[in-house]
Amino acid sequence: MTEYRASRTAVLVCQGRAVADGRLAVGRFADPIAIELLDAAERTPVERVRNGERAHGFGESMELELLASTADVMTTRTVFIDDAIREAANPQLVILGAGLDARAWRMPELARTEVFEVDQPASQQDKRARLGELKPEAATVRFVAVDFARDSLSDLLEAAGHDANRPTTWVWEGVVPYLTPEQVAATVDLVARRCAPGSRFVITYSTPSRTASFGRKALQAMLTLARRGNPLQHEPQRSTWRPEQWRDLLGDRGFVITDDQDLLSIAELLGMTIRRREFLALGHCVVADRN
């Protein structure tokens, strides 16, 4: 039987949004809920980065640098995805691998939208405990426990009340890298079958880079050595993708790609101060529509 643990990368990206809120791309990015979803220990490094405090020693400087870089990534992809959701204005929103995504709690534009949050069971339980009594802005939020590697997304969504005959916006943010190419293709298949005309699929993915893969391993080794806790420890990267692979994968399943941008281009459009250009350029966001 699969043993689940709550995702640590979900906490890391939530910390990144909490670092960015009110500081990066102000007026275009905001996530005031992110800090509320973090516990006291998780908030401490967030506050240190926000206050521009100097790190004590090598381990802490690695940890704070990781958070600052994560904040840049989260700002760009959040703005891109929020815009895509608003533009589609569909009556249903399915967030695949939702983690600590706060859209249903922070976007008033979702007041008439039914939101389905899909995630593996332990991450979902952890989120529900963190949410406490927080009231959503969305019309409804339903939690659907799914392991993309094992469960039938389609059956579980159907049982949760998702209507495949009404248009849906699907968001798959920060999840594809943790799945094998086969698991990704199988999930795209299942999503495609539940897409009425007008549906939209928004996906983030990482493009291949030997340097980035080496950097990721080196960072993890240094965090472990410095006993700072390694948030990537149990969530290895399993796939990277090139834009033309998405064109084929999505095109074969009846989607038309209407946008595909790298995070560096988005950061430039937002007028952000860019610290690690090469790193940002590896991340992409793609929008595919079903006409």
Ligand X SMILES: C[S@@+](CC[C@H](N)C(=O)[O-])C[C@H]1O[C@@H](n2cnc3c(N)ncnc32)[C@H](O)[C@@H]1O
Nearer to ligand X, 55 or 145 (CB): 145
Nearer to ligand X, 16 or 167 (CB): 16
Edge-to-edge strand list for the sheet holding 168-172: 140-145, 114-119, 92-96, 168-172, 200-206, 283-289, 256-262
- Tokens standing for residue 130: 């963190």
Q: By CB under 6 A, is residue 7 in contact with ligand X? A: yes
How many residues lie near ligand X (CB under 6 A)? 20
Nearer to ligand X, 149 or 185 (CB): 149
Say how far apart CA 209 and CA 207 lie, in whole Å: 7
Q: Name the residue among 97, 95, 165 with its Cα closest to residue 136.
A: 95
Q: State the angle between helix axes of 181-193 and 153-160 in degrees (0 to 180), rounded to the nearest 10.
A: 40
CB burial of 181-207 (b: ≥16 within 10 Å; e: otherwise) equals eebbebbbebbbebbeebbbbbbbbbe
- Least gap, CB of 7 to ligand X (angstroms): 4
Say how far apart CA 118 and CA 140 lie, in whole Å: 14
Say how far apart CA 24 and CA 291 lie, in whole Å: 35
- Least gap, CB of 12 to ligand X (angstroms): 7
* Cβ contact 81:100 at 8 Å: no
- Tokens standing for residue 257: 């790609």
Q: Name the residue among 255, 134, 139, 112 with its Cα closest to residue 194.
A: 255
Say how far apart CA 88 and CA 109 lie, in whole Å: 11
Nearer to ligand X, 8 or 23 (CB): 8
Q: By CB under 6 A, is residue 13 in contact with ligand X? A: yes
- Least gap, CB of 291 to ligand X (angstroms): 26
Among 21, 63, 101, 114, binds ligand X (CB under 6 A): 101
Say how far apart CA 140 and CA 93 lie, in whole Å: 10
Nearer to ligand X, 120 or 169 (CB): 120
Which 118-177 positions form the footprint of ligand X (CB under 6 A)? Answer: 119-120, 123, 146-149, 173-175
Stretch binding ligand X (CB under 6 A), from 2-10, 107-115, 211-219, 272-280: 2-10
Nearer to ligand X, 279 or 291 (CB): 279
Nearer to ligand X, 149 or 222 (CB): 149
- Least gap, CB of 243 to ligand X (angstroms): 20
Among 25, 34, 99, 162, binds ligand X (CB under 6 A): 99
Q: Is 287 helix (H, G, I), strand (E, B) or coil?
A: strand
Q: By CB under 6 A, is residue 98 in contact with ligand X? A: yes
Q: Is 144 helix (H, G, I), strand (E, B) or coil?
A: strand
- Least gap, CB of 77 to ligand X (angstroms): 8
Nearer to ligand X, 82 or 173 (CB): 173
* Cβ contact 289:258 at 8 Å: yes
Among 33, 100, 131, 176, binds ligand X (CB under 6 A): 100
- Least gap, CB of 148 to ligand X (angstroms): 4
Chain residue at closest Cβ approach to ligand X: 99
Binding site for ligand X (CB under 6 A): 7, 9-10, 13, 97-101, 119-120, 123, 146-149, 173-175, 178
